[in-house]
Structure 1
Amino acid sequence: MNPILRDNFGRTIDYLRLSVTDRCVLRCQYCMPKGFKDFAEPGGWLSFEELTRLVAVFARLGLRHLRLTGGEPLVRRDLPVLVRMLAEIPGLEDISLSSNCMRMEKLAGPLAEAGVKRLNVSLDSLRPERFREITGGGRLDKVLRGIEAAREAGMWPIKINTVAMKGFNDDEFDDLIAYCVEHGYALRFIETMPVGDTGRQALGSYLNLQRVRQELVERHGLVPASMVGAGPARYYRVPGSETRIGFITPISQHFCATCNRVRLSCEGDLFACLGDEHRYGLREPLRAGCGDEELAEHVLAAINLKPERHEFNERQEKVVRFMSMTGG
């Protein structure tokens, strides 16, 4: 089967973000409400075999890059087993992981050995009390040890993802840059997005990263740069180091024209756009016993739902699901 994953606007889709669970050990303010318990039932989650079969169909259609997300993917029991199964799929070139790293210290070795190559870490503050506040009780020391364990296990590059929030962590940007330069990590600042009620509430702390970028470029002498697996980020290099600073700007300067990704929930719903509520259910045909060719037709039909662009600015109320359902 020739690579044919292309949407109605000519964009090649070669990147899948696969949510293996919607559960998480943290409650970040912009992602999930405190006390939220309306999670998908484990019986509705796709099994490892079902996930592997679907990804294999995607790969035959041209998928090359896979990122495991959640919720928090390390909550899914026996995750290294799934990674090992996925790593054997022909045509799949890269498996990466997005994590808060609260459970990474023990799992880094098994995950890297199974096939995880790269890591993105959610880290919005380097101050323990502030980190605990934004995450609803998270421990910064555990996260930092988890990141170090991932580096020692061979995951590289490691990208630190920081949601930029006015009046909360905008006084830490220089500290975050210094931390990443010290350890050789990349740093990506991300604008808040109106995904779910929590995301819309977080817009009260919205920071336009166009201005932040200009300030940091001038203060640190940042120079334009590229990076492997850049995705939607626009990167700059910190002079005298290999550290890249990226800016992800879905609100102030969207990147929809070059979007190459779709998202699959743990229940088998394919979301063609993070900023759209349309979903295509793949679990029912999968469990109904359809063959791979028929599954491929369902995947292609789902890709055709991908809109030309999101409407975060025009229709902030549009996306009602929480970010944890699709892993960002």
Structure 2
Amino acid sequence: METAPLIDPFQRAISYLRVSVTDRCDFRCVYCMSENMTFLPKKELLSLEELDRMCSTFIRLGVEKLRITGGEPLVRRDIMTFLRSMSRHLERGALKELTVSTNGSQLARFADDLYAAGVRRINVSLDTLDEDKFARVTRWGRLPQVMKGIDAALAAGLRVKINTVALKGFNEDELFTLVEWCASRDIDLTFIEVMPMGDLGGEDRIGQYWSLKDLRVELSKQFTLTELSHRTGGPARYVRLEETGQQIGFITPLSHNFCESCNRVRLTCTGELFMCLGQEDNADLRTALRANPDSDAVLEDAIRAAIRLKPKGHDFDYSRQEANGQVSRHMSHTGG
């Protein structure tokens, strides 16, 4: 079998795979999914064994960073079995990092197990420190449960990064509260512009959009921001706040397109490979996987063919006061 690395048409090496292990979640965040979601039949989802085979094939083809997402990945039954299995690739050095993105609801239960499986870094979605607003934005979530989970993660030795979606009229007034709370816990913080994805039952994406350019202006009123060249393999750009020493990230798909250095692809829980978060083009890898249970050759060919179709960039654009470039699937389907 070919073992040449995965190189896209723009000479970018694909070394980062984000894998959604479930479309289900115990929250219903307003920018991510509708309150009354219809989830996929279980037979359409890749089994844990199939996820293992799929991820192992990508690792054999040069993927060095694996991020497990959802939905909420920790609500997938027996997910720790899969994560423990992936740790073999860490032990032999083929996989450099195994990370998890979570809403934090299950961390009190799983933090120690995650560390034991080789996870050293997690991303926790948290848009507000106000209990009532948290219940409103997540619809079903409870802030104390998440805070308990973050405490458990820190106690287990996990490095925690908070991802906060910047929402106009919702968490603008908490900018400094969030920054100072993270500084006090030695937690990294990244702000994300809201992305135009999925039918959210009347949610106003343009009304929600808070440009991170504007957020940075606000931040600079209280702190000295120093640009950093540091990268983690993702789309964030970082600054250091000189007064606290902490690192703040900005993910700006709308006000600054980050596609030129994109090294990642996204695998859904049904085996679709999305070569770009902001495009509808995808490749069906589940058929190749299931049609050939005794060989990965056809799967490898299907992966290579998909990477050859990776576009140069996405088309998200709010500049004309309409959500141009909007894609129809929910963020929970693709895995962020």
**TM-score, structure 1 normalization:** 0.95
What residue in structure 2 maps to residue 239 of structure 1?
242
The amino acid across from 2:141 in the alignment is G
Displacement of 1:305: 2.1
What residue in structure 1 maps to residue 44 of structure 2?
44
Distance 2:169 2:213 in 1: 17
1:271 corresponds to 2:283: no
Deviation per CA, 1:105-145: give whole Å up to 9, x if none: 01111121112221001000000000000000311111011
Displacement of 1:240: 4.6
Over 3 Å counting, the alpha-carbon distance change for 1:184 and 1:227 in structure 2 is farther
Instruction: Check whether the contact 1:193–1:203 (CA below 8 A) recurs between aligned residues.
Output: no
Over 3 Å counting, the alpha-carbon distance change for 1:57 and 1:230 in structure 2 is closer
Displacement of 1:225: 2.6
Distance 1:215 1:176 in 2: 13
Over 3 Å counting, the alpha-carbon distance change for 1:10 and 1:230 in structure 2 is closer
Over 3 Å counting, the alpha-carbon distance change for 1:188 and 1:279 in structure 2 is same
What residue in structure 2 maps to residue 258 of structure 1?
261
Displacement of 1:242: 4.2
Displacement of 1:226: 4.7
1:292 corresponds to 2:291: no
What residue in structure 1 maps to residue 18 of structure 2?
17
Give ranges in structure 1 of 5+ residues lacking alignment: none
List aligned pairs for 1:1-328, cutoff 5 A. Answer: 2-36=3-37, 38-89=38-89, 90=92, 91-156=94-159, 158-198=160-200, 201-227=204-230, 229=232, 231-289=234-292, 291-313=295-317, 316=324, 318-328=326-336
Indicate the larger mover: 241-250 or 24-33.
241-250
Indicate the larger mover: 263-272 or 211-220.
211-220
Instruction: Check whether the contact 2:26–2:140 (CA below 8 A) recurs between aligned residues.
Output: no
Displacement of 1:264: 0.4
Please report the RMSD computed on the Cα atoms of aligned residues, expressed in angstroms: 1.7
Look up the SS of the partner of 2:164 in the other structure: strand
Deviation per CA, 1:75-106: give whole Å up to 9, x if none: 10111110011111351111000000111101
Displacement of 1:49: 1.4
Give ranges in structure 2 of 5+ residues lacking alignment: none
Displacement of 1:2: 4.0
Look up the SS of the partner of 1:197 in the other structure: coil
The amino acid across from 1:93 in the alignment is K
Distance 2:62 2:76 in 1: 27
Instruction: Check whether the contact 1:227–1:244 (CA below 8 A) recurs between aligned residues.
Output: no
The amino acid across from 2:330 in the alignment is F
Look up the SS of the partner of 2:133 in the other structure: helix
Identity of aligned residues (%): 47
Over 3 Å counting, the alpha-carbon distance change for 1:94 and 1:3 in structure 2 is farther
Aligned length: 326
Distance 2:30 2:139 in 1: 7
Distance 2:76 2:248 in 1: 31
Instruction: Check whether the contact 1:270–1:281 (CA below 8 A) recurs between aligned residues.
Output: yes
Distance 2:284 2:230 in 1: 34
Distance 2:153 2:192 in 1: 22
